[in-house]
């Protein structure tokens, strides 16, 4: 059995493959609701961000360094016809990993990229969230929703989480300056119609990073962290790209 430092297999399967990239502050369990709702026999991998819960590696705050780390192992797990799913920050990370794979002319590439609640890297060009005070950084994190008040008030836990948030914002801010070449892949933006944390105009700017047109799908009554409470809608959307005719669990 191969040992991987940056990818975790959440589910075995042979009929399709989904590779997930977590949101800011997320970790290998961030897609648990999606994993449970997915049909049987779909193999699911989740990126294990360095320095986050479940990782023994040091935190990384630069997009190039992070992509180099993921790139070392992605070829060991990817199968033909796979689907990449990146939620929020995970969309940016999955894009730049794909861009590296395209540039290096990898033989096996995913068939589809799903950007879930993700804005384009250029939207972070003038942001300095990574340099905010702890108090202001917590306020910024609250904008996304999904984090219980009890967690935000737990000083011991926040002392662990704040460096992670800060490093992740560093990755996003460095992605705005990162050189890239447009990639030629079918890409879908999955957007919550009630997302108040991000602007849909910033998401549509993904067009600047793609050869093919960006396909936009809106989820009714969904906020930014919809992967946690609207997993059936998300899984139904994903399944059409895995060519599965299996009902959502």
Res. 91: pLDDT tops 80:
yes
The CATH homologous superfamily to which domain 7-240 belongs is: Alpha/Beta hydrolase fold, catalytic domain (3.40.50.1820)
Res. 28: pLDDT tops 80:
yes
Q: According to the model, what pLDDT value does residue 148 have?
A: 82
Span 96-152, pLDDT tens digits = 999 999 999 999 999 999 999 999 999 999 999 999 999 999 999 999 987 888 888
Q: According to the model, what pLDDT value does residue 97 have?
A: 99
**Percentage of residues in the chain having pLDDT higher than 90:** 88
Residue 139: how many other CB atoms lie within 10 Å = 12
The tokens for 118 are: 């993700």
Q: According to the model, what pLDDT value does residue 243 have?
A: 67
Span 14-24, pLDDT tens digits = 889 999 999 99
Res. 90: pLDDT tops 60:
yes
**Percentage of residues in the chain having pLDDT higher than 70:** 96
How far is the C-alpha of 235 from the C-alpha of 226, rounded, in Å? 11
Span 180-233, pLDDT tens digits = 999 999 999 999 999 999 899 999 999 999 999 999 999 999 999 999 999 999
Distances (CA, A) of 8 to 31, 127, 229: 11, 31, 22
Question: Which one has a higher pLDDT value, 241 or 115?
Answer: 115
**Which residues share a beta bridge with 210?**
183
Q: According to the model, what pLDDT value does residue 150 have?
A: 86
How far is the C-alpha of 180 from the C-alpha of 226, rounded, in Å? 29
């Amino acid at each position: 059995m191969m040992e991987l430092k940056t990818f975790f297999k959440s589910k075995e399967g042979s009929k399709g493959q989904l590779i997930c990239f977590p949101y800011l502050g997320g970790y290998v369990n961030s897609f648990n609701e999606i994993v449970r709702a997915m049909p049987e026999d779909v193999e699911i991998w989740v990126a294990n961000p360095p320095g986050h819960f479940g990782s023994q590696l040091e935190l990384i705050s630069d997009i190039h360094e992070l992509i180099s780390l993921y790139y070392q192992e992605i070829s060991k797990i990817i199968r033909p016809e796979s689907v990449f799913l990146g939620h929020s920050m995970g969309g940016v990370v999955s894009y730049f990993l794909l861009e590296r794979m395209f540039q290096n002319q990898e033989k096996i590439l995913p068939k589809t990229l799903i950007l879930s609640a993700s804005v384009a890297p250029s939207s972070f060009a003038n942001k300095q969230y990574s340099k905010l005070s702890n108090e202001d950084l917590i306020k910024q994190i609250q904008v996304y929703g999904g984090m219980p008040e009890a967690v935000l008030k737990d000083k011991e836990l926040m002392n662990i989480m704040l460096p992670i948030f800060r490093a992740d914002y560093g990755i996003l801010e460095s992605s705005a300056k990162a050189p890239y070449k447009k990639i030629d892949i079918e890409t879908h933006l999955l957007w919550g119609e009630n997302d108040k944390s991000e602007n849909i105009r910033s998401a549509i700017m993904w067009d600047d990073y793609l050869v093919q047109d960006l396909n936009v799908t809106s989820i009714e009554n969904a906020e930014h962290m919809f992967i946690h409470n609207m997993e059936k809608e998300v899984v139904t959307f994903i399944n059409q790209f895995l060519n599965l005719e299996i009902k959502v669990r």
